[in-house]
Amino acid sequence: MSATMIKEFRLPDLGEGLTESEILSWKVAVGDTVTLNQVIAEVETAKAVVELPSPFAGTVAALHEQAGSVVEVGKPIVSFEVDDAGASPSGASGSDAGASPGDAPSPAEGAAKREPNLVGYGAVVEKSGRPARRQRSFDAGATEREPVREPIPAVAPVPAVAPFSTVETTAPPAVASETAAEQERPRSTPPVRKLARDLGIDLELVKGTGPGGLITRSDVQDFASGSQAQVSAPEIAPAAASAVGVSTERETRTPIKGVRKFTAAAMVQSAFTAPHVTEFLTVDVTPTMELLTRLKASREFAGYKLTPLTIAAKAVLIALRRNPSLNSRWDDGAQEIVQFNYVNLGIAAATPRGLTVPNIKDADRMTLLELSTALSALTDTARSGKTSPADLTGGTISITNIGVFGIDAGTPILNPGEAAIVALGSVRKAPWVHNDELAVRQVMSLSLSFDHRLVDGEQGSKFLADLGAILSDPATVMTMI
């Protein structure tokens, strides 16, 4: 009979610098037998919903987090009972959770062993870039604590989230042995902190009744119901009660997380980093709409989805060849302008989870038929919430099709790391001078926002003029390629 051992699996970084993920659902239960790379959970990052494969073959020994929990990267989420001889067939991250916590390899050691042959866990981590954290004890009678170094995998630092409360309070007296770092936030467990975030409650106002002042789930629930007094609480007016998250009939609070949280941070970064300039052009797209009708009726495009977005996307790619400065990036650290010799075309997609901008890799090398297929697959995947993190990064220029909402023009904000974004307005019938006569034509407004550090007004104007020329007369492409 072969010996077995317990292997602990910690949440990996599922994207570029993501610091946490929410466990949407578990696909396994304690006691289930799993195989290598079998899907064990579905997690939501700030960018996408991802299926998490098992790094081991064995039996599920314990689930450390419940569905709905927001877990930081590097935290243990599940333990497996595996054969001692084949504990790490994949080389994926994990650590022993056997004899004692002191015997277990650190998360950093486990992360350093990761190999790219296990789907979704990235390349080998050379070293941890995050300082060791102190393990805290909640023993109320403890007067002296020995620091326990517990390094975790390298992740981007998590910015402090401002509490919802606008009421200043006094924190409870600190235990003499606690360091200043430990006093930065009340002591609680991740599920309790998540519950407080969901209810919009500042844990500074909650009195902990657990060991050593630990704030428990019931403490948060009692505070939300108003049955617990606040810590050093001054008089709070009804308006202030709503500010600390107590539900009222006049407002609804929604936790900022997932795609919404990521999109908000990206838009703020872009708006206050890149100097935006937006230009507008209205063009007669009747010839493009006529071309679209002919293509749909052709045998080559039978069964394919062709829309004005398809033609406009191809026109953007052609115009970029003549105006490459719009396909670039500002590298502030290196003090260089990076010119892309390829085009990863981003398409803004409105999904139930929020705005995402997946991109089509090497779109400039595609034929119109290939681009049509890629656009259909991209939008279907985005709306189903299954876009992979890889498809949400690496874009070089983007298109947002606001015309589907009946909007003519706008001032789109750049996707971070890109030099330009084009907004396509709705196609409308309008009076237009055509061949020196007034006629009813199909017109579209184009909006172009660009980073003025990278793109001069002349370059942006020429790109927009080329784009308008192609859409108003597709035959002009012959003079551009």
Q: For residues 46 and 262, what is the distance between their CA atoms, to the nearest angstrom?
A: 5
Beta bridge partners of 359: 346
Q: For residues 360 and 49, what is the distance between their CA atoms, to the nearest angstrom?
A: 19
Q: Give the list of residues 6+ apart from residue 57 with CB closer than 8 angstroms, or none.
A: 34, 35, 36, 82, 86, 89
Give DSSP secondary structure letters for 264-311.
Answer: HHHHHHHHTTS-EEEEEEEEE-HHHHHHHHHHHHSSTTTT----HHHH
- Residue 150: which H helix or E strand, with range? strand 149-150
> b/e string for 136-146 if b means 16 or more Cβ within 10 A?
beeeeeeeebe
Contact (CB, 8 A) for 391 and 359: yes
434: annotated active-site residue: no
Count CB neighbours of 29 within 10 A. Answer: 8
Catalytic pick among 64, 276, 434, 452: 452
Q: For residues 359 and 356, what is the distance between their CA atoms, to the nearest angstrom?
A: 10
Contact (CB, 8 A) for 430 and 443: yes
The residue type at 96:
D
Phi, psi of 478 (to 5 degrees): -60, -25
The residue type at 27:
K
Q: For residues 47 and 92, what is the distance between their CA atoms, to the nearest angstrom?
A: 23
Q: In Å, how far are 261, 387, 443 from 349, measured between CA atoms? A: 16, 11, 23
Cα torsion 480, 465, 350, 411 to 10°: value is 160
Q: For residues 15 and 122, what is the distance between their CA atoms, to the nearest angstrom?
A: 9
Count CB neighbours of 369 within 10 A. Answer: 14
- CA dihedral (370, 375, 381, 386) positive or negative: positive
Catalytic residues: 452
